[in-house]
Amino acid sequence: MPHPLPEGPDERYAAYLAEGRICIQQCGDCQRHVFYPRLFCPHCHGSSLTWREVSGKGTVYATTVIRQRPDKGGPYNLCLVDMEEGVRFPGRVEGPAPEDVKIGMAVAARIKQEDGNPLVVFDPS
Ligand SMILES: [Zn+2]
């Protein structure tokens, strides 16, 4: 019987997302949070990473407007959000006009189904 490949951190992250949970890793050695998912802590190289769900609270660190023709869906926002846990997530802020998304804006993460895939997006909070 062939053994299945061990599940990698990216697969685990995607599986949590599919369950409706946004999870990141926390290092058992230095206690810092880790994102993107990895096998080893980027801070101390420890390997005792465990998963926990994020609060979802964050602030916009960087924002940009992607210009698109209206028939392609119109302009949209792309941003980097500093989460309360100290990790940085890529995503987009939905709700305000893309150019009204400002650095320092308080946002909350949510999972949106898009084209059948779960995606992390942010709402102003
Ligand atoms: Zn560590």
Q: Where are the domains of the chain?
A: 1-53, 55-125
Question: How far away, in angstroms, is 33 Cα from ligand 1 center?
Answer: 8
- Rounded to an integer, the average pLDDT of 92-118 is 95
Cα-to-centroid distance, 111 and ligand 1 (Å): 27
- The DSSP string of 48-109 is -EEEEE---EEEEEEEEEE---GGGT--EEEEEEEETTS-EEEE-B-SS-GGG--TT-EEEE
Q: What is the pLDDT of residues 1-60, one digit of tens each?
A: 666 667 899 999 999 999 999 999 999 999 999 999 999 999 999 999 999 999 999 999
Structural contact between residues 105 and 119, judged by C-beta atoms closer than 8 angstroms: no
pLDDT at residue 72 greater than cutoff 80 = yes
Distance (Å, whole) CA 113 – CA 4: 28
pTM here is 0.88
Fold of 55-125: OB fold (Dihydrolipoamide Acetyltransferase, E2P) (2.40.50)
Would you give the DSSP letter of residue 125?
-
Reply yes or no: is the peptide bond before residue 36 cis, omega within 30 of 0. yes
Question: What is the predicted pLDDT for the residue at 5?
Answer: 67
Between 73 and 87, where is the model more confident?
87
How far away, in angstroms, is 87 Cα from ligand 1 center? Answer: 13
pLDDT at position 101, please? Answer: 97
CA 39 to ligand 1 centroid distance, Å: 11
> Measured in angstroms, how far is the CA atom of residue 16 from the centroid of ligand 1?
22
Q: What is the pLDDT of residues 54-68, one digit of tens each?
A: 999 999 999 999 999
| CB 17, CB 120: distance < 8 Å | yes
Q: Is the pLDDT reported for residue 71 higher than 80?
A: yes
